[in-house]
Amino acid sequence: MDRLYLRHSTDKQTDARQRHALSALLASGAPVYDDPATSSRQLPLDRAGFTKLLHEAAVGDTIRIADAARLFRSVADILALRPVLIRRGLHLRVESGLLSGIDLAADDPGTKMMVSVLAAVLEFQRDMISENTRQGVAAAEASGKTLGRPAALAPGKAADVVTAYREGAAIKALARQHQVAAKTIRRILDAAGARELPEQPGALPVPVEQPDPQAQTPVTLDLPGLLADHLAAAGDDTVRQALATGRTIRRGQGHTIRLTAPLTLHRAALQQSTALAADTAAPAERKAHRVYATRIKTAEQPPGN
Protein backbone atom coordinates (compact mmCIF):
# COMPACT_ATOMS: atom_id res chain seq x y z
CA MET A 1 0.00 0.00 0.00
CA ASP A 2 1.27 3.49 -0.88
CA ARG A 3 1.25 6.22 1.77
CA LEU A 4 1.97 9.80 0.70
CA TYR A 5 3.92 12.30 2.79
CA LEU A 6 3.81 16.08 2.25
CA ARG A 7 5.64 18.91 4.03
CA HIS A 8 6.22 22.62 3.53
CA SER A 9 8.27 24.93 5.72
CA THR A 10 6.12 28.04 6.31
CA ASP A 11 2.51 29.21 6.32
CA LYS A 12 3.22 31.19 3.14
CA GLN A 13 4.07 28.03 1.20
CA THR A 14 1.71 25.37 -0.17
CA ASP A 15 2.01 21.72 -1.13
CA ALA A 16 0.55 22.29 -4.64
CA ARG A 17 3.78 21.27 -6.41
CA GLN A 18 4.06 18.12 -4.31
CA ARG A 19 0.46 17.17 -5.01
CA HIS A 20 1.08 17.64 -8.73
CA ALA A 21 4.08 15.27 -8.59
CA LEU A 22 1.98 12.72 -6.71
CA SER A 23 -1.25 13.35 -8.64
CA ALA A 24 -1.61 9.80 -9.97
CA LEU A 25 -1.25 8.34 -6.49
CA LEU A 26 -3.67 10.91 -5.05
CA ALA A 27 -6.21 9.98 -7.72
CA SER A 28 -5.91 6.33 -6.69
CA GLY A 29 -6.98 7.23 -3.15
CA ALA A 30 -3.65 6.71 -1.36
CA PRO A 31 -3.78 8.11 2.20
CA VAL A 32 -2.01 11.43 2.74
CA TYR A 33 0.00 12.54 5.79
CA ASP A 34 1.34 16.06 6.02
CA ASP A 35 3.37 18.38 8.22
CA PRO A 36 2.45 21.94 7.19
CA ALA A 37 4.65 24.85 8.33
CA THR A 38 7.32 22.46 9.60
CA SER A 39 11.02 23.22 9.25
CA SER A 40 13.30 20.68 7.58
CA ARG A 41 15.57 21.07 10.62
CA GLN A 42 13.05 19.10 12.66
CA LEU A 43 13.90 15.41 12.44
CA PRO A 44 11.28 13.30 10.62
CA LEU A 45 10.65 11.17 13.72
CA ASP A 46 9.77 14.31 15.68
CA ARG A 47 7.10 15.44 13.20
CA ALA A 48 3.45 14.72 14.03
CA GLY A 49 2.37 13.84 10.49
CA PHE A 50 5.27 11.51 9.73
CA THR A 51 4.97 9.85 13.16
CA LYS A 52 1.28 9.17 12.47
CA LEU A 53 2.26 7.63 9.14
CA LEU A 54 4.68 5.26 10.87
CA HIS A 55 2.03 4.28 13.43
CA GLU A 56 -0.50 3.37 10.74
CA ALA A 57 1.85 1.79 8.20
CA ALA A 58 1.98 -1.98 7.89
CA VAL A 59 4.87 -4.20 6.84
CA GLY A 60 5.41 -3.90 3.09
CA ASP A 61 3.86 -0.44 2.71
CA THR A 62 5.67 2.18 0.62
CA ILE A 63 6.17 5.81 1.72
CA ARG A 64 6.23 8.14 -1.26
CA ILE A 65 7.43 11.75 -1.29
CA ALA A 66 7.56 14.28 -4.13
CA ASP A 67 11.23 15.11 -3.58
CA ALA A 68 13.91 14.30 -1.03
CA ALA A 69 13.73 17.75 0.63
CA ARG A 70 10.24 16.95 1.95
CA LEU A 71 11.73 14.41 4.35
CA PHE A 72 15.49 14.96 4.49
CA ARG A 73 17.72 17.94 5.15
CA SER A 74 20.86 15.95 4.43
CA VAL A 75 22.06 12.46 3.59
CA ALA A 76 22.85 12.11 7.31
CA ASP A 77 19.06 12.24 7.90
CA ILE A 78 18.65 9.34 5.45
CA LEU A 79 21.24 7.33 7.36
CA ALA A 80 19.41 7.98 10.63
CA LEU A 81 15.98 7.04 9.26
CA ARG A 82 16.95 3.96 7.20
CA PRO A 83 17.30 1.57 10.20
CA VAL A 84 13.84 2.61 11.45
CA LEU A 85 12.19 1.87 8.10
CA ILE A 86 14.12 -1.39 7.64
CA ARG A 87 13.06 -2.66 11.08
CA ARG A 88 9.43 -1.87 10.29
CA GLY A 89 9.60 -3.51 6.85
CA LEU A 90 8.70 -0.30 4.99
CA HIS A 91 9.84 1.06 1.62
CA LEU A 92 10.67 4.67 0.73
CA ARG A 93 10.59 6.13 -2.76
CA VAL A 94 11.19 9.65 -4.07
CA GLU A 95 9.21 10.67 -7.14
CA SER A 96 11.69 13.20 -8.59
CA GLY A 97 15.31 14.25 -8.39
CA LEU A 98 18.60 12.42 -7.96
CA LEU A 99 17.16 9.77 -5.65
CA SER A 100 14.09 8.93 -7.74
CA GLY A 101 13.50 5.33 -8.74
CA ILE A 102 15.39 3.93 -5.74
CA ASP A 103 13.94 2.29 -2.64
CA LEU A 104 15.97 4.19 -0.03
CA ALA A 105 14.87 1.76 2.68
CA ALA A 106 16.12 -1.32 0.81
CA ASP A 107 18.64 -3.40 2.72
CA ASP A 108 20.50 -4.73 -0.32
CA PRO A 109 24.26 -4.12 -0.82
CA GLY A 110 23.74 -1.79 -3.80
CA THR A 111 21.50 0.63 -1.89
CA LYS A 112 23.80 0.51 1.13
CA MET A 113 26.76 1.40 -1.09
CA MET A 114 24.90 4.26 -2.80
CA VAL A 115 23.76 5.82 0.48
CA SER A 116 27.24 5.39 1.97
CA VAL A 117 28.82 7.13 -1.05
CA LEU A 118 26.37 10.03 -0.76
CA ALA A 119 27.13 10.29 2.97
CA ALA A 120 30.88 10.35 2.24
CA VAL A 121 30.40 13.14 -0.33
CA LEU A 122 28.33 15.11 2.18
CA GLU A 123 30.99 14.70 4.87
CA PHE A 124 33.68 15.86 2.39
CA GLN A 125 31.61 18.95 1.53
CA ARG A 126 31.17 19.80 5.22
CA ASP A 127 34.91 19.38 5.86
CA MET A 128 35.69 21.70 2.96
CA ILE A 129 33.25 24.31 4.27
CA SER A 130 34.81 24.08 7.74
CA GLU A 131 38.32 24.39 6.32
CA ASN A 132 37.37 27.41 4.22
CA THR A 133 35.72 29.01 7.27
CA ARG A 134 38.84 28.51 9.40
CA GLN A 135 41.03 29.99 6.68
CA GLY A 136 38.70 32.97 6.32
CA VAL A 137 38.72 33.61 10.08
CA ALA A 138 42.52 33.38 10.19
CA ALA A 139 42.85 35.83 7.29
CA ALA A 140 40.43 38.29 8.92
CA GLU A 141 42.25 38.14 12.26
CA ALA A 142 45.62 38.64 10.51
CA SER A 143 44.26 41.80 8.86
CA GLY A 144 43.16 43.18 12.23
CA LYS A 145 39.41 42.72 11.83
CA THR A 146 37.28 42.11 14.93
CA LEU A 147 35.17 38.99 14.54
CA GLY A 148 31.95 38.00 16.21
CA ARG A 149 29.01 39.94 17.58
CA PRO A 150 29.82 43.45 18.86
CA ALA A 151 29.98 43.72 22.64
CA ALA A 152 26.71 44.85 24.23
CA LEU A 153 28.62 47.18 26.58
CA ALA A 154 31.80 49.14 26.02
CA PRO A 155 34.83 48.01 28.07
CA GLY A 156 34.51 50.98 30.41
CA LYS A 157 30.86 50.26 31.17
CA ALA A 158 31.62 46.56 31.61
CA ALA A 159 34.20 47.49 34.26
CA ASP A 160 31.57 49.67 35.98
CA VAL A 161 29.20 46.69 36.02
CA VAL A 162 31.80 44.49 37.74
CA THR A 163 32.56 47.20 40.31
CA ALA A 164 28.88 47.82 41.05
CA TYR A 165 28.21 44.09 41.43
CA ARG A 166 31.05 43.70 43.89
CA GLU A 167 29.62 46.60 45.85
CA GLY A 168 26.28 44.79 46.17
CA ALA A 169 24.25 45.74 43.11
CA ALA A 170 21.82 43.07 41.85
CA ILE A 171 22.18 41.57 38.38
CA LYS A 172 18.64 42.49 37.29
CA ALA A 173 19.10 46.06 38.55
CA LEU A 174 22.32 46.36 36.53
CA ALA A 175 20.56 44.98 33.46
CA ARG A 176 17.79 47.58 33.75
CA GLN A 177 20.33 50.35 34.34
CA HIS A 178 22.36 49.52 31.22
CA GLN A 179 19.31 48.41 29.16
CA VAL A 180 20.67 44.95 28.38
CA ALA A 181 19.55 41.41 29.16
CA ALA A 182 20.41 39.90 32.54
CA LYS A 183 22.37 37.14 30.77
CA THR A 184 24.63 39.84 29.28
CA ILE A 185 25.45 41.08 32.79
CA ARG A 186 26.15 37.50 33.90
CA ARG A 187 28.54 36.95 30.98
CA ILE A 188 30.45 40.13 31.88
CA LEU A 189 30.67 39.09 35.53
CA ASP A 190 31.74 35.54 34.67
CA ALA A 191 34.43 36.82 32.30
CA ALA A 192 35.82 38.91 35.17
CA GLY A 193 35.46 36.07 37.68
CA ALA A 194 33.21 38.27 39.80
CA ARG A 195 30.63 35.57 40.49
CA GLU A 196 33.13 32.99 41.73
CA LEU A 197 32.74 32.21 45.41
CA PRO A 198 35.89 32.88 47.44
CA GLU A 199 37.46 29.97 49.22
CA GLN A 200 36.34 29.76 52.84
CA PRO A 201 38.93 28.59 55.38
CA GLY A 202 37.74 25.58 57.25
CA ALA A 203 34.91 24.84 54.86
CA LEU A 204 33.87 21.23 54.75
CA PRO A 205 35.04 19.37 51.65
CA VAL A 206 32.36 18.46 49.14
CA PRO A 207 31.71 14.73 49.43
CA VAL A 208 32.61 12.75 46.34
CA GLU A 209 29.70 10.67 45.17
CA GLN A 210 30.64 7.03 45.03
CA PRO A 211 29.70 5.10 41.91
CA ASP A 212 26.74 2.78 42.22
CA PRO A 213 27.92 -0.76 41.36
CA GLN A 214 24.35 -1.77 40.48
CA ALA A 215 24.15 1.01 37.88
CA GLN A 216 27.12 -0.50 36.02
CA THR A 217 25.80 -4.08 36.00
CA PRO A 218 24.36 -5.04 32.58
CA VAL A 219 20.58 -5.42 32.65
CA THR A 220 18.41 -6.80 29.84
CA LEU A 221 15.29 -4.72 29.19
CA ASP A 222 12.87 -4.50 26.28
CA LEU A 223 12.97 -1.03 24.74
CA PRO A 224 9.63 -0.19 22.99
CA GLY A 225 10.02 0.27 19.25
CA LEU A 226 8.64 3.82 19.27
CA LEU A 227 11.39 4.88 21.68
CA ALA A 228 14.02 2.95 19.73
CA ASP A 229 13.01 4.69 16.50
CA HIS A 230 13.20 8.10 18.19
CA LEU A 231 16.61 7.36 19.74
CA ALA A 232 18.00 6.04 16.45
CA ALA A 233 17.61 9.56 15.08
CA ALA A 234 17.82 11.81 18.15
CA GLY A 235 19.91 9.84 20.67
CA ASP A 236 23.60 10.42 21.29
CA ASP A 237 26.34 8.21 19.84
CA THR A 238 26.57 5.98 22.93
CA VAL A 239 22.85 5.19 22.93
CA ARG A 240 22.73 4.61 19.16
CA GLN A 241 25.72 2.25 19.33
CA ALA A 242 24.02 0.30 22.12
CA LEU A 243 20.82 0.05 20.05
CA ALA A 244 22.81 -1.49 17.22
CA THR A 245 23.76 -4.37 19.54
CA GLY A 246 20.15 -5.04 20.60
CA ARG A 247 17.93 -7.79 19.23
CA THR A 248 14.76 -6.79 17.35
CA ILE A 249 11.64 -8.67 18.45
CA ARG A 250 8.55 -8.38 16.25
CA ARG A 251 5.19 -7.98 18.02
CA GLY A 252 2.41 -7.88 15.42
CA GLN A 253 3.00 -4.72 13.39
CA GLY A 254 5.21 -3.27 16.16
CA HIS A 255 8.54 -4.28 17.61
CA THR A 256 10.82 -3.96 20.64
CA ILE A 257 14.58 -3.92 21.01
CA ARG A 258 15.91 -6.34 23.63
CA LEU A 259 18.86 -4.38 24.97
CA THR A 260 21.48 -5.59 27.43
CA ALA A 261 23.29 -2.59 28.91
CA PRO A 262 24.14 -0.95 32.25
CA LEU A 263 21.30 0.83 34.04
CA THR A 264 23.12 4.11 33.43
CA LEU A 265 22.65 3.65 29.69
CA HIS A 266 18.98 2.67 30.07
CA ARG A 267 18.46 5.84 32.15
CA ALA A 268 20.24 7.92 29.50
CA ALA A 269 18.02 6.43 26.78
CA LEU A 270 14.91 7.26 28.83
CA GLN A 271 16.13 10.81 29.41
CA GLN A 272 16.86 11.33 25.71
CA SER A 273 13.34 10.21 24.80
CA THR A 274 11.50 12.62 27.13
CA ALA A 275 9.99 14.32 24.06
CA LEU A 276 7.75 11.25 23.75
CA ALA A 277 6.38 11.85 27.25
CA ALA A 278 5.20 15.40 26.48
CA ASP A 279 1.53 16.27 26.16
CA THR A 280 2.07 16.95 22.45
CA ALA A 281 3.27 13.39 21.83
CA ALA A 282 0.95 10.69 20.51
CA PRO A 283 -0.79 8.49 23.14
CA ALA A 284 1.16 5.44 21.95
CA GLU A 285 4.44 7.35 22.43
CA ARG A 286 3.52 8.44 25.95
CA LYS A 287 2.54 4.87 26.82
CA ALA A 288 5.83 3.51 25.43
CA HIS A 289 7.79 6.02 27.53
CA ARG A 290 5.85 5.02 30.70
CA VAL A 291 6.38 1.32 30.03
CA TYR A 292 10.15 1.74 29.62
CA ALA A 293 10.35 3.97 32.72
CA THR A 294 8.52 1.29 34.74
CA ARG A 295 10.89 -1.42 33.52
CA ILE A 296 13.92 0.67 34.53
CA LYS A 297 12.42 1.43 37.95
CA THR A 298 11.74 -2.27 38.51
CA ALA A 299 15.34 -3.15 37.51
CA GLU A 300 16.63 -0.57 40.01
CA GLN A 301 15.01 -2.36 42.94
CA PRO A 302 17.52 -4.31 45.08
CA PRO A 303 17.25 -8.09 44.83
CA GLY A 304 14.68 -9.54 47.23
CA ASN A 305 12.44 -6.44 47.27
Do the beta carbons of residue 40 and residue 9 sit within 8 Å? Answer: yes
Asked if 295 and 249 sit in the same domain, the reply is: yes
Asked if 102 and 181 sit in the same domain, the reply is: no
Rounded to whole angstroms, the Cα distance separating 97 from 64 reads: 13
Is the pLDDT score of 34 beyond 90?
yes
Residue of 286, 243, 244 whose CA lies nearest to 268 = 243
Give 133-164 pLDDT, tens digit per residue: 788 777 777 777 666 666 677 777 888 888 88
Give the pLDDT mean for 169-193: 86
Q: What pLDDT does residue 222 have? A: 92
The domain that contains 31 carries what CATH number? 3.40.50.1390
Domain membership flag for residue 148: no
Domain coverage including residue 58: 2-107
Would you say how long the chain is, in residues? 305
Asked if 162 and 87 sit in the same domain, the reply is: no
Asked if 185 and 99 sit in the same domain, the reply is: no
Do the beta carbons of residue 129 and residue 136 sit within 8 Å? Answer: no
* Domain-ending residue, one of 89, 107, 125: 107
Q: What pLDDT does residue 212 have? A: 59
Asked if 97 and 8 sit in the same domain, the reply is: yes
Asked if 227 and 285 sit in the same domain, the reply is: yes
Domain membership flag for residue 134: no
Rounded to whole angstroms, the Cα distance separating 37 from 9 reads: 4
The identity of residue 121, as a single letter, is: V
Is the pLDDT score of 199 beyond 50?
no
Domain membership flag for residue 25: yes
In percent, the amount of the chain with pLDDT more than 90 equals 19
In percent, the amount of the chain with pLDDT more than 70 equals 87
Average pLDDT, the chain: 82
pTM of the complete model beyond 0.75: no
Q: What pLDDT does residue 211 have? A: 57
Domain membership flag for residue 149: no
Is the pLDDT score of 267 beyond 80?
yes
Domain membership flag for residue 56: yes
Asked if 182 and 239 sit in the same domain, the reply is: no
Number of domains in the chain: 3
Asked if 101 and 6 sit in the same domain, the reply is: yes
Give 71-89 pLDDT, tens digit per residue: 877 777 777 888 899 989 9
* Domain-ending residue, one of 107, 142, 166: 107
Give the pLDDT mean for 27-41: 90
Best-predicted range by mean pLDDT among 16-20, 117-121, 186-190? 16-20
Asked if 15 and 102 sit in the same domain, the reply is: yes
Give the pLDDT mean for 266-279: 85
Helix (H, G, I), strand (E, B) or coil at 48: helix
Domain membership flag for residue 234: yes
Sign of CA dihedral 78, 81, 83, 85: negative
Is the pLDDT score of 178 beyond 70?
yes
Asked if 182 and 276 sit in the same domain, the reply is: no
Rounded to whole angstroms, the Cα distance separating 137 from 160 reads: 31
Domain membership flag for residue 137: no
Asked if 85 and 11 sit in the same domain, the reply is: yes
Asked if 235 and 183 sit in the same domain, the reply is: no
Domain membership flag for residue 125: no
Give the pLDDT mean for 281-293: 85
